[in-house]
């Protein structure tokens, strides 16, 4: 997994260029061997295999990539990244596709995953450390699935695995860092 | 021997037994842990899925706290935190521009002089001492070691054990008298944080992993990751319903098994916190532990 710095390359479609800039990965290096698809543990639930996502990106099929289920279902297990014979960090490309989809306001094909990322990242900012009960409640409010995992949640609570009160430690630091990141990214 | 210690969010909540048992094992083996003061979340997948800069900045803040405290090594038990810390080190070392940006947003001057290590690395170097301190026979346990995704992948970043067939956990557990079995699912994925969004995917993957563990002849699974533990333990009943097959396989943090071998009690190690109860298992298999 080597990083590249692409400024302009006529062999890249505009979307491949955008994706390669965000991920620092050369999607054009892919020769479609399908090792990433073969090893992907979540491929059974995806609409396109990781190999097809890379191919679509190379062709500039932005909407195919950004409206796919695949970019949201990727569990970042790093199997594809580890096995790619062309050294493409495919998991990083999936991250980049999600980031571009969110930035461009594309409606996510798997809403629950986007909601999870969004709610969790706000939770970390607010509390400094992950506050699980807050996260679970936040997800329930957004999904409307109030009874999902209720019994399991109660049992974990009884066993002291889910804390009632957040820690608040380091929340000043996370808020400061988030603000600075936002400022840097809007440049 | 003394290390800076970054427990991470899970070890203070859903994986409290990992923290408890790791601390016990360390105190038993003369290893001192000094928790990093005012540490913050590593960002985990919600950070790297939403902002690359944030996903590097959060671990670097923690690493700079370690550096400022005058230490050059930090032990990180959670596989997800371990992965994010290693990624941060890998990227700032190779990318001067990113390193500058990260230092600016964090407000630090991180020099990259911190070594990130996993408890398995410390305990691998202590197997002779651990073996000499074993007071409880655990030879009735036939465990499969489940390393999951992030401990070893990608190998250029993690530089830890083998990415397709790791053995460090097997070797550590064998040194304290636990039998570990050969199996092919050591580094399969459990679906990780999809448990909180697309639960069905996790239940399917957990079912596959546990079915394979059973086929291999295991009566326990050993893990080194809070998310692997949470998924295999809390989703086991749903996986049984999906597969139409009873597993009843307790899932242990490897530190809990070492702790048991060293003679610590079930409660001291946090074994009462599991969803798949381990008490009847330990009692029935061994005439009481």
pLDDT on residue B210:
98
Beta bridge partners of B35: B5
Distances (CA, A) of B208 to A42, B189, B216, B285: 12, 10, 12, 25
Check if A90 contacts B (Cβ < 8 Å): no
Residue B250: DSSP 8-state:
-
pLDDT, averaged across chain B:
95
The rounded distance, in Å, linking the Cα atoms of A121 and A115 is 10
Token reading at B263: 């003679």
Query: Among residues B180, B63, B27, B221, which one has the least CA distance to residue B19?
Result: B27
Distances (CA, A) of A130 to A53, A126, B13, B77, B149: 32, 9, 9, 16, 21
pLDDT on residue A145:
84
CB spacing of B47 vs A124 below 8 angstroms: yes
Distances (CA, A) of B96 to A23, B61, B266: 17, 17, 49
Residue B287 pLDDT exceeds 70: no
CB spacing of B198 vs A113 below 8 angstroms: yes
Token reading at A10: 């006529």
- Rounding to the nearest 10 degrees, give the CA dihedral for residues B39, B45, B47, B49: 170
Query: Among residues B152, B271, B45, B234, which one has the least CA distance to residue A151?
Result: B234
Element (H, E) at A55: helix A50-59
Query: Where does chain B have alpha helices with state H?
Result: 8-11, 16-28, 44-48, 52-68, 79-94, 96-106, 119-124, 127-132, 155-158, 168-175, 199-215, 226-234, 236-243, 254-261, 279-286
Average of pLDDT values for A163-187? Answer: 92
User: CA B24, B25, B26: angle at the middle one, nearest 5?
Assistant: 90
Calculate how close chain B gets to A2, using CA atoms only, in Å. Answer: 10
Residue A1 pLDDT exceeds 90: no
Q: Is residue A142 very low, low, confident or very high in pLDDT (cuts 50, 70, 90)?
A: confident
pLDDT on residue A8:
65
List CB contacts (< 8 A) between B198 and chain A.
Answer: 45, 73, 110, 112-113
CA B106 to chain centre: 27
Average of pLDDT values for B268-275? Answer: 95
Q: Is residue B285 very low, low, confident or very high in pLDDT (cuts 50, 70, 90)?
A: low
Q: Is residue A168 very low, low, confident or very high in pLDDT (cuts 50, 70, 90)?
A: confident
pLDDT on residue A70:
98
Beta bridge partners of B251: B221
Check if A116 contacts B (Cβ < 8 Å): yes
Check if A185 contacts B (Cβ < 8 Å): yes
Check if A145 contacts B (Cβ < 8 Å): no
List CB contacts (< 8 A) between A78 and chain B.
Answer: 149-150, 153-154
List CB contacts (< 8 A) between B48 and chain A.
Answer: 76, 95
Contact status, residue A35 vs residue A13, Cβ threshold 8 Å: no
What residues 261-280 of chain B have any CB closer than 8 A to a CB of chain A?
Answer: 272-273, 275
Token reading at B166: 């790791």
Instruction: Give this complex's ipTM.
Output: 0.94
Contact status, residue A133 vs residue A52, Cβ threshold 8 Å: no
Query: What is the side-by-side order of every strand in the sheet holding B2-5?
Result: B32-35, B2-5, B73-75, B115-117
List CB contacts (< 8 A) between B104 and chain A.
Answer: 180, 184
pLDDT on residue B178:
97
Check if A105 contacts B (Cβ < 8 Å): no
B-chain residue closest to A116, CA distance = B197
pLDDT on residue B145:
98
The rounded distance, in Å, linking the Cα atoms of A88 and A10 is 20
Exposed e or buried b for every residue in B144-158, given b needs 16+ CB within 10 A?
bbbbbbbbbbbbebb
B49-106: pLDDT as tens digits: 999 999 999 999 999 999 999 999 999 999 999 999 999 999 999 999 999 999 999 9
Out of A82, A149, A170, the one facing B153 most closely (by C-beta) is A82
- Residue B244 exposure: Cα atoms within 13 Å on the Cβ side: 0
A117-126: pLDDT as tens digits: 999 999 999 9
Contact status, residue A138 vs residue A123, Cβ threshold 8 Å: yes
CB spacing of B53 vs A181 below 8 angstroms: yes
Q: B37: which residues sit within 8 A by CB, 6+ positions away?
A: B65, B69
Out of B47, B154, B193, the one facing A81 most closely (by C-beta) is B154
Q: Is residue A58 very low, low, confident or very high in pLDDT (cuts 50, 70, 90)?
A: very high
B122-140: pLDDT as tens digits: 999 999 999 999 999 999 9
Distances (CA, A) of B87 to A51, A97, A164, B44, B83: 24, 19, 32, 11, 6
pLDDT on residue A89:
97
Contact status, residue B17 vs residue B269, Cβ threshold 8 Å: yes
A-chain residue closest to B148, CA distance = A77
């Amino acid at each position: 997994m080597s990083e590249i710095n692409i400024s302009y390359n006529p062999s890249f479609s505009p979307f491949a260029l955008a994706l390669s800039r965000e991920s620092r990965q050369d999607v054009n290096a892919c020769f479609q061997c399908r090792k990433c698809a073969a090893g992907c543990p979540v491929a059974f639930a995806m609409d396109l295999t990781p190999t097809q996502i890379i191919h679509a990106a190379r062709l500039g099929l932005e909407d195919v990539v950004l409206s796919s289920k695949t970019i949201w279902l990727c569990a970042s297990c790093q199997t594809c990244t580890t096995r790619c014979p062309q050294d493409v960090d495919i998991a990083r490309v999936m991250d980049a596709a999600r980031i571009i989809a969110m930035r461009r306001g594309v409606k996510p094909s798997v809403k629950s995953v986007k909601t999870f990322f969004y709610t969790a990242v706000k939770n970390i900012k607010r509390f400094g450390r992950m506050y699980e009960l807050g996260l679970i409640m936040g997800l329930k409010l957004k999904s409307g699935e109030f009874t999902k995992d209720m019994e399991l949640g109660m049992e974990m609570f009884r066993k002291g695995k889910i804390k009632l009160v957040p820690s608040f430690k380091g929340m000043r630091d996370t808020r400061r860092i988030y603000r600075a990141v936002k400022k840097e990214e809007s440049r | 021997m003394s290390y800076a210690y970054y427990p991470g969010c899970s070890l203070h909540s859903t994986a409290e037994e990992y923290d408890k048992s790791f601390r016990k094992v360390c105190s038993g083996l003369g290893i001192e842990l000094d928790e990093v003061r005012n540490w913050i979340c590593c960002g985990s997948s919600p950070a790297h899925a939403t902002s690359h800069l944030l996903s590097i900045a959060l671990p670097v803040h923690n690493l700079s706290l370690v550096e400022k405290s005058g230490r050059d090594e930090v032990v990180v038990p959670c596989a997800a935190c371990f992965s994010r810390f290693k990624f941060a080190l890998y990227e700032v070392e190779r990318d001067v521009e990113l390193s500058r940006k990260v230092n600016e947003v964090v407000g630090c001057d991180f020099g990259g002089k911190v070594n990130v290590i996993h408890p398995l690395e410390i305990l691998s170097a202590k197997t002779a001492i651990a073996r000499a301190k074993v007071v409880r026979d655990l030879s009735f346990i036939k465990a499969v070691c489940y390393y999951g995704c992030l401990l070893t992948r990608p190998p250029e970043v993690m530089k830890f054990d083998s990415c397709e067939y790791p053995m460090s956990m097997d070797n550590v557990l064998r040194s304290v008298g636990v039998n570990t079995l050969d199996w092919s699912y050591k580094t399969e994925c459990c679906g990780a944080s999809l448990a909180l969004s697309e639960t069905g995917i996790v239940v399917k993957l957990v079912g596959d992993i546990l079915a394979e563990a059973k086929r291999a002849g295991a009566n326990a699974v050993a893990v080194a990751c809070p998310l692997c533990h949470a998924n295999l333990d809390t989703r086991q009943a749903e996986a049984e319903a999906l597969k139409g097959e009873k597993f009843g396989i307790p899932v242990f943090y490897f530190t809990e098994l070492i702790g048991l071998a060293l003679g610590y009690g079930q409660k001291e190690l946090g074994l009462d916190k599991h969803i798949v109860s381990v008490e009847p298992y330990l009692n029935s298999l061994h005439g009481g532990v």
